[in-house]
Amino acid sequence: MGRKVSVVVSLLLVLAGCLIMGCSSLLFQGGTPQETPAPAAGFSAGNVSAEPASYTNFNDAVTDLAGLGFGGSAAAKGAGIRYLMGSGVNATGDANSWIFAVDITNNTSFITYDHHGRTIVNASRWTPGPVIAIDRILTPRQLFDYNRAVITANQSANSTLSQKLVLEEGNYTLTQSGQGSPRILVFNATTGVQIAVQR
């Protein structure tokens, strides 16, 4: 009887150790996590922080993407950024997270930058739009500086506002959510000129 109890206690301790060390997902999934290439520009793959989400600089993310072979002149080699979304965008054009859809030789992946670092997920069933030449468009910071008056119009100092910025098909679409109906602003990504506003 005493031996059975000690075996059960030992098994429980091993299981608790696995849960604490985070290996339970590997035990139940029967695999290992996907490894990503070595990061640049201060981003680290797979580093999980207990810190609250902080704003991620767009230029740092683009620099890291260039190190992976995407953006700018990479478009001429059949590789390129097809879609971009920033969530939790602040007044300076930085975001809590950036998601880039990149395509090379007909294989699309989503590359996310946030307080966890860089994450790459295969998205082979997603149909991408045309290649975005990042070096030929305004950065989100430039877009916000150029259109600050219209972007901040009707915002009170006390209002809680969530902003999402999407770049595709040559246009930036900024969706502002808070009190009332969402406000959607569309800008030309090359010139920064406002194209439309919807409420």
pLDDT at 197: 82
In a domain, 156, yes or no: yes
Show the domain range for 173. Answer: 58-198
pLDDT at 5: 42
In a domain, 48, yes or no: no
Instruction: Encode the chain in three state secondary structure.
Output: CHHHHHHHHHHHHHHHHHHHHCCHHHHHHCCCCCCCCCCCCCCCECCCCCCCCCCECHHHHHHHHHHHCCCHHHHHHCEEEEEEEEECCCCCCCECEEEEEEEECCEEEEEEEECCEEEEEECCCCCCCCCECHHHCCCHHHHHHHCHHHHHCCCCCCCCCEEEEEEECCEEEEEEECCCCCEEEEEECCCCCEEEEEC
pLDDT digits over 40-49, tens only?
444 444 433 3
In a domain, 185, yes or no: yes
pLDDT at 157: 55
In a domain, 44, yes or no: no
In a domain, 45, yes or no: no
* pLDDT value at 32 more than 70: no
pLDDT at 65: 86
In a domain, 138, yes or no: yes
pLDDT digits over 154-179, tens only?
676 556 689 999 999 999 999 999 87
User: Listing from the earlier edge strand, what are the strands of the sheet with 107-114?
Assistant: 117-122, 107-114, 97-104, 79-87, 162-168, 171-177, 183-188, 194-198
In a domain, 50, yes or no: no
pLDDT at 97: 96
In a domain, 189, yes or no: yes
* pLDDT value at 182 more than 60: yes
pLDDT digits over 119-168, tens only?
999 887 776 678 888 888 999 999 999 999 999 886 765 566 899 999 99
Sequence-separated contacts (24+) of 65-70 with Cβ below 8 Å:
65/100, 65/102, 65/111, 65/134, 67/39, 67/40, 67/41, 68/37, 68/102, 68/111, 69/104, 70/100, 70/102, 70/104, 70/111
Q: How confident is the model at residue 2 (pLDDT cuts 50, 70, 90)?
A: low
- Domain tally, the chain: 1
Q: Which of 123, 121, 160, 167 is nearest to 143 (CA)?
A: 167
